[in-house]
A and B are shown apart, each in its own frame.
Chain A
Amino acid sequence: MSNKLLPQGSDWTFENLEIYQNVVTELATDWLGLDLYPNQVEVITAEQMLDCYSSHGLPSMYNHWSFGKSFIENHRGYKSGQQNLAYEIVINSSPSISFLMESNGLPMQVLVMAHVNGHNAFFKNNYLFQEHTDAEGIIDYLIYAKDYIADCSERYGDDRVEQLLDACHALENNSVDQYPRPPKKTARERAAVAEESRLFKETNRNDLFDVTAAKDQTEHLDNSTRFPPEPEDNFLYFFEKYSPVLEEWEREIVRICRKKAQYFYPQRLTQVSNEGFATGTHYRILNKMVDEGMIDDTFMLEMLHSHSGVIAQPDYDSDYYNGRMNPYALGFAIQRDIERMCKEPTKEDEKYFPNLVGQNWKEETKKAAFNFKDESFISQYLSPKVIRDFKMFGVNDSTADDFVIIDDIHDEEGYQGVVDKLSTTYNLSQVLPQLSILDTNIRGDRTLTIQHKMVNDIFLDPKEMPAMLSHVKRLWGFDVEIVGMNDDGIVLEHIASKNIKGL
């Protein structure tokens, strides 16, 4: 690293962008030790940025009216000044494509380039992304998907394809494999397993102690007539494989939507950690550049101005509070806290985080980002200090009461409660209804039974039911019912398409 001052001022050119991009990337890989996908930086106009927004940032997405609606909403928000376009959008792909808006000044572009490197490393190294997404193949797959869907539109009509897509979009929240599926066994392998288990049962048969015998008899009845044998969480997967009414091309479109949902799944579960890591990365890189004399104070000031806007956290009683912690604020605070605990631990840190004290901060911050999702990131690393800084407090809200109860606050007794509560809010099962396909009544009228595991006595929103049941019915071809049970197995809720007019 030389101590030479890099180009300053507020206007960017392609030359100085390239200079900064090289410096920033070098700092990211050599100094921070980040493992990155190759970077592809694209300069775009504001209108193109709006296009990106609407297609989830992906450069090639199939066409659908909902993207048109989303474009209009974003455009209106942008035009009326209510919404600032993201300074950057970056895609989980290899090469990692990121977009710079042409209207940003040079300091902003440098900040964005540094920030993007954080995301890049996160996409490449976080375990959830490694498990669930294929960065090398996503762009090509989407191009294929777009062409396929356009082709189907021509062949079978826009309306039919649009209705199918509407149904698929409605179910995307419930169409993700949370764990990789075991590879399918071949027929020979399945026969071998069955033979092995039969042999084992025969040689180990002991009538005296065999308590499973009686159970087997009844289980046999249940399992052979019940399909699916185990509840299926992934709705689109189920319909793609087993729906009696879908044609081949429709199954392919269902599969495309399912793959898309799977691709975005990790992003949902890691928003806090991802943004925290990227913000931390740009903060560290920029400060290093100041230390090395590469940028001067005025340059840095402009970046800091934007940076502090991004990590701002309004209080609960502020007009700007939207009900949740700002993921940038929370993630960045935790990342910086980990750094602090490694470098300058206090007595309190030694008590709560002995594993971090005195460790290499670069390794520990990476470990925190790459090996956890938001829920576990927070439960592992949220410290009393951060809780005090934000003055976090826990609220118990029961709809039956007209008051709320404050329980844990930022004191000694409250810390663990705050950590537990906050991390739970990032558990999808708290946010999304837990639904699985229980039975298809194949010997009867093929009514699809969906099981809703109710949490905390929360019911499903009845306003959405007619539309949702109609979508499910379209994909399954027969009637649908939802059975909601609480933890004790008591049925509290029953919704059936038979009972809804017009379905």
Chain B
Amino acid sequence: MSVIIDRRLNGKNKSGPNRQRFLRRVRANIKKTIDDVINNSDIQDIGKGDTEITVNRKDLSEPTFSHNSKTGRRTGINPGNKEFQSGDKVPKPQGGQGEGGSKGSNDPEVTEDDFTFLLSQDEFLDFLFDDLELPHLIEKNLKSATEFVTKRAGYSTSGNPANLNVIKSFEKSIGRRLAMKSPLKRKLIKLEVLLLNEEDEEEIERLEQEVEEMKRKIKAVPFIDDFDLKFNAHRKEPVPATSAVMFRILDVSGSMGEEEKILAKKFFVLLYLFLTKCYDNVDVVNIRHHTIAKEVDEEEFFGSRESGGTIVSGSLEKMVEIATERYSGAEWNIYATQCSDGDNWESDNQLVMELLEKKILPMCQYFAYIETMHGKDSFFSSDGESDLWKVYKDISDPTFAMQQVQESKDIYPVFRKLFAKK
């Protein structure tokens, strides 16, 4: 009558969908907290660990019709009378209901107003990059696919013993046995009926022999045979792979102050998180430049203390060089993000313009320019615009975008603007 079942291996995370709905409901709060987090945390801490989100309980209320506790008369029974007599008047504690000074609260640490919960790292990144994508990402065509995925494709009558489908094979075997045995069994029954009614000795013997023969034939039907066997069939399907490469170009010249460098770095870290979270294989190429441009690895990109003058064209030339060398061909989606304070060597501007228009933009899916101006107008030119800004603002190519970032709190909104889903 009693049954004991072990459910521990069953569906974990049954509350998953409910948590999802809950998170959706409080998205506004989550987004606000995210903005604060980006603003205030160090570069390397972004996107690590759990984030605490606070929501006002009013937004999560589940209202019902209820009594106003400040009105009316109530009677109650309490346990533990020590010295009260009937008719005693006991003053009420300050601000509390008069039921004898009970604390009432089950969790004194959490205030009435706020509901806090933890967002896991993954959930945090999901919200961070919600509704963002790399623009104009073209899916690679199938012909030159290098990746295949193996998929099930029904059953076949031949194959590898490891792929033997036992159940289907037995189904076939049952079918075959039924088909082969039924006529024999029918005959057997007929014979046995005749045998019952037969009187003649000779006939009886003959019939008994035939019955034996029938039984032998029935037994001879094999239980399982070669053509019963069924194997699971598989098929290789090509996967349209998308390949993308992101060029990160950072200006480390003398005109880029510490704050500007930090802004740029924060932006690049965000970019990197975005790429690794949302896309499977994106190559990242880092180019630092002052007067000379150099391809570097992650550590040097963020860490190196070199400085100098500014020749922007060098970095663009480097990019073209690397792109034609390593990322040529129709398979690659090329993206670039350039961070600079906009200052450039006077005579270089023309070259920059040419490189961009003639070489870079044609091969790029998207080029984003971020100008970091830490709380000041560019003092390099009298009309408030930097060199690069003047050059870039005339470009009307849809694959080009430019934005300014003045403070930490601008980074995330600008990021969202640049990579918003169309």
Interface residues of A, Cβ cutoff 8 Å to B: 14, 17-18, 21-22, 25, 38-45, 47-48, 50-51, 54-55, 63-69, 71-73, 76-77, 82-83, 95, 99, 102, 158, 162, 166, 169-174, 313-319, 321-323, 325, 390-399, 401-411, 413-414, 418, 421-422, 424-425, 432-433, 435, 454-462, 464, 467-468, 471
Contact = CB atoms under 8 A, between A and B. Distances in A.
B324 interface: no
Given A321-B103, A397-B76, A456-B74, A51 B15 contact: yes
A155 B161 CA distance: 46
Interface string B100-142: 1111101100000001010000000000000000000000000
A21 B4 contact: yes
Nearest to A323: B102
A226 to B, nearest CB: 23
Listed from nearest, the 7 A-B pairs whose CB atoms lie closest are A315-B80, A68-B22, A458-B72, A404-B98, A68-B18, A316-B78, A316-B100
Interface of A, secondary structure class, is: mixed
B73 interface: yes
Interface in B60-99: 60-82, 84-92, 97-99
A153 to B, nearest CB: 10
Contacts of B68: 458-462
B160 interface: no
A433 B67 contact: yes
A39 B2 contact: yes
12 contacts: A14-B6, A21-B4, A41-B4, A42-B7, A51-B15, A64-B18, A69-B60, A394-B77, A398-B72, A404-B89, A406-B88, A458-B71
A322 to B, nearest CB: 6
Given A21-B4, A467-B61, A468-B65, A410 B86 contact: no
Given A464-B63, A467-B63, 11 more contacts: A18-B2, A40-B2, A42-B5, A51-B15, A68-B22, A99-B7, A318-B80, A319-B103, A323-B102, A394-B75, A471-B63
B152 interface: no
B4 A18 contact: yes
A169 B66 CA distance: 14
Interface band, chain B: 35 or more
Contact of B86 (A22, A47, A174, A407): A407
Contacts of B8: 43-45, 48, 102
A404 B73 CA distance: 10
Contacts of A82: 106-107
Interface of B: 1-8, 10, 12-15, 17-25, 60-82, 84-92, 97-104, 106-107, 115, 117
Contacts of B10: 48
Given A76-B117, A394-B75, A458-B71, A404 B5 contact: no
B99 A316 contact: yes
Interface of B, secondary structure class, is: loop
A413 B76 contact: no
A124 B107 CA distance: 36
Given A41-B3, A459-B67, A405 B89 contact: yes
Contacts of B2: 18, 21-22, 25, 38-41
Contact of B77 (A22, A170, A418, A467): A418
Contacts of A321: 78, 80, 100, 102-103
A317 B5 contact: no
B103 A404 contact: no
A364 to B, nearest CB: 24
Contacts of B13: 47
